[in-house]
Structure formats: C-alpha cells, structure tokens
C-alpha cells in the first residue's frame, strides 16, 4: 500500500503517520523530518531550506522533488508532508511511474484554524531527538525535558501565532486543486481530524478497511 497523508500544519499528520506506518508496515517518509535533520546538520540542503521554514514558507518544488525521488523506491510507504500542491502531485506521479508504482490512497486530515492554533502554539519538540509533545494533550513527565532522551524541549520558530496563520493561509491557497486532483482519480479519503488522536486513528482505520 502506498499512502499519502495530507493536512494543514497541526492536523496531526506526523502523529498519525508514525502509528499507521507501524500498523500497516509501511516505510514512513516525512519531508519535515528530513528537512529539519538537514538544518540540524548545517548541510548545504539545510542551509537552503532554513530561511523558508523559519518564515513559514513552503520549500521550493525543485528542492522538494529532489529529496522525494532520493527517498522513494517500489516498497510500500506512507508520505507525510508531500505533495502539497498540484505541481508536486504531478511530479510525484512521474517519479513513481518511472519506478513502476502509483499512489493507492490520499488521506486528507480535515481541521480548522482554531484547532491548529491550539495544537501548534502549545507544541514542544526535543532539541536533540525531535520527539513531539503538547503542553495540554501530551505533556512530558518532567517540565521542559524530553521523556526519551532527557534533552531540552523547545518551541519551534515556526510555531508562533503569526507564522502559524501564514502557514494556514498558504495551505488554504494551495490545497483545493490538490484535493480535486485526487478526487478525480478516486483516491481521496477525507477524515475529520479534530479531537483525540486515538479517535482520529480509528476513523482512518475504518476508512482504509
């Protein structure tokens, strides 16, 4: 099974992708994680994407497609954070076609602006291992300290209200043509992503079954 998990920042893509990849035995490909790792390593790619990420802007398609092609083969996978627009979707189809593969399902996690503001302004991430926490829904056992590795928890620079609203505006501008594209291909599955993560997971499993 080859799956795309799509939704606005704060829709729960990362959380659901981890659980679904384990449950269905899929390779998880998260562009956000890949980019953040490159930024942390201070690599040429990391330096290239850093300014875009900190301003809440999308990384250019040419850079993104290069990373995707390097991380995709013919095995089963779940894509988290790509494609984000119609051009990227068509590029992805071309990449997969060269590898003799295609997308099976496009899962759209539907949320609203108040939900993502609530989720992202209270999100914390481990400075070292990248684990995510939430001050209300999933707090660390010890304030400001990662449960997994004991490192400091920080707020990402793109998780401030102004940047979140910018990301939301960019998302709304880009998403409709992408949804229409997969709807026409009869691969679109829309999921109400508001509420507890376990409830959302059950909704996804029910649709996929």
Q: What string of pLDDT tens digits covers the 209 residues of the chain?
A: 999 999 998 899 988 999 999 999 999 988 877 787 778 888 887 888 888 877 777 788 888 888 888 778 778 999 998 898 899 999 999 999 988 899 999 999 999 999 999 889 999 999 988 888 999 888 999 999 999 999 999 998 888 999 999 989 888 888 889 999 999 999 999 999 998 889 999 999 999 98
Tell whether pTM > 0.85: no
Catalytic residue ranges: 13, 84, 123, 156, 167
CATH number belonging to domain 2-112+161-208: 3.40.50.300
What DSSP state is assigned to residue 59? Answer: P
For the stretch 109-128, pLDDT in tens is 999 999 999 889 999 999 98
The SS3 assignment for 63 reads helix
Q: Distance between CA 134 and CA 71 in Å, rounded? A: 29
Q: What is the pLDDT of residue 63?
A: 83
Burial class (CB in 10 A: 0-12, 13-18, 19+), 191: buried
Q: What is the pLDDT of residues 65-103, one digit of tens each?
A: 888 887 787 789 999 988 988 999 999 999 999 888 999
Is the preceding peptide bond at 41 cis, omega within 30 degrees of 0?
no
Angle at 131 between CA 127 and CA 136, to 5 degrees: 105
């Amino acid at each position: 099974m080859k799956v795309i998990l799509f939704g606005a920042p704060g829709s729960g893509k990362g959380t659901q992708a981890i659980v679904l990849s384990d449950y269905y035995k899929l390779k998880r490909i998260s562009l956000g994680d890949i980019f953040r790792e490159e930024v942390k390593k201070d690599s040429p790619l990391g330096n290239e994407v850093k300014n875009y990420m900190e301003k809440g802007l999308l990384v250019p398609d040419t850079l993104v497609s290069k990373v995707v092609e390097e991380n995709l083969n013919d095995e089963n996978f779940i894509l988290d954070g790509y494609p984000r627009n119609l051009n990227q979707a068509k590029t992805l189809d071309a990449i997969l076609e060269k590898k003799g593969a295609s997308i099976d399902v496009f899962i759209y996690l539907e949320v609203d602006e108040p939900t993502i503001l609530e989720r992202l302004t209270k999100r914390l991430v481990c400075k070292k291992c990248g684990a995510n926490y939430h001050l209300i829904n999933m707090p660390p056992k010890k304030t400001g300290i990662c449960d997994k590795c004991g490192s400091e928890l920080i707020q990402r620079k793109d998780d401030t209200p102004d940047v979140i609203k910018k990301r939301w505006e960019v998302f709304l501008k880009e998403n409709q043509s992408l949804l229409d594209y997969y709807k026409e291909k009869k691969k679109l599955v829309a999921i109400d992503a508001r509420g507890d993560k376990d409830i959302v997971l059950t909704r996804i499993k029910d649709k996929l079954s």
